[in-house]
Structures are given as structure tokens and as C-alpha cells.
């Protein structure tokens, strides 16, 4: 059995559905970049762990607390980057949605230093099975 890459082990400890439980995983100057022109009020950069929590709070508010991240796969790339595929589910504007997203993570000195969250903006479904 192959060893699990250290960055994957670190990322597996992050619970996006309860970010408060993961505070020690993030660098002090961590930045979360969120790109989604369909949610311009949420799109942007969120700095520090407080910024990350603010992003998830905004998503919870926008989705009536239904926003959930469902990991699909993650691939380490060298010792600094990791690319993950997730399917986000939520209720938005009264209807259920499932959205594929890719998150590119950057690791520095054993901590998560930066992440780029890029959701599909044209491929949206009522459930993950429809994607």
C-alpha cells in the first residue's frame, strides 16, 4: 500500500462543513480565492483563517445553511500543490443544486497557504447524480 502524500493527509483533516475545527491547518497569511461570476456578492479573496470562516458563513447564509462540500478526489502535484474535485450541494433560490468545483491548494511549511476555489458556473444540476 502506498503512503499517503503529507499534503493530502493535511487536507483530509480540513472539514469545510465545520471550518472552526481546522484552524491550525492554515498559515497566518492564508488566502482563499473564490471565482464565481454568478455569485458576485461572494466572489473575491478572503484573507487569513477569519477570512476563510467569513467565506463559509456567506455561503451558509446564501444557501439557508444548506451548503455542503462533498469531496470526490484529490491529486497531489509535487510537494507544494494539490488539486481536489468536490461536488458542492445546496439549496439556492428555493431549489436544490449540485455543482462541480476544483480547488487548487498550495502548501508551505506544513500548512495550507492558499487556495483557489473554481466552481463550474454553466454545469449545475439538481443532484450530484445528475452531473
Residue range(s) defining the domain that contains residue 32: 6-120
Kindly state whether residue 80 falls inside one of the protein's structural domains.
yes
Residues 94/55, Cβ–Cβ less than 8 Å:
no
Residues 66/91, Cβ–Cβ less than 8 Å:
yes
Split into its structural domains, the chain has a count of 1
- pLDDT tens for 29-39 read 999 999 988 88
Helices then strands (H, E): number in the chain?
A: 2, 6
The CATH number linked to 96 is 3.10.450.50
Kindly state whether residue 127 falls inside one of the protein's structural domains.
no
- pLDDT tens for 47-61 read 999 999 999 999 999
Residue 87 has pLDDT above 90, yes or no: yes
For the residues 12-33, what does the mean pLDDT come to? 91
Amino acid at each position: 500500500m502506498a503512503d499517503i502524500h503529507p499534503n493530502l493527509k493535511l487536507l483530509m483533516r480540513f472539514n469545510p462543513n465545520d471550518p472552526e475545527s481546522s484552524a491550525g491547518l492554515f498559515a497566518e497569511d492564508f488566502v482563499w480565492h473564490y471565482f464565481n461570476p454568478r455569485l458576485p456578492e461572494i466572489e473575491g479573496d478572503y484573507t487569513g483563517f477569519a477570512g476563510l470562516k467569513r467565506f463559509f458563513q456567506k455561503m451558509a447564509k446564501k444557501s439557508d445553511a444548506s451548503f455542503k462540500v462533498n469531496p470526490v478526489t484529490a491529486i497531489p502535484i509535487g510537494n507544494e500543490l494539490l488539486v481536489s474535485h468536490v461536488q458542492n450541494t445546496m439549496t439556492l433560490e428555493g431549489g436544490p443544486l449540485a455543482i462541480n468545483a476544483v480547488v487548487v491548494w498550495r502548501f508551505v511549511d506544513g500548512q495550507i497557504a492558499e487556495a483557489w476555489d473554481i466552481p463550474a458556473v454553466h454545469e449545475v444540476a439538481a443532484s450530484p447524480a445528475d452531473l
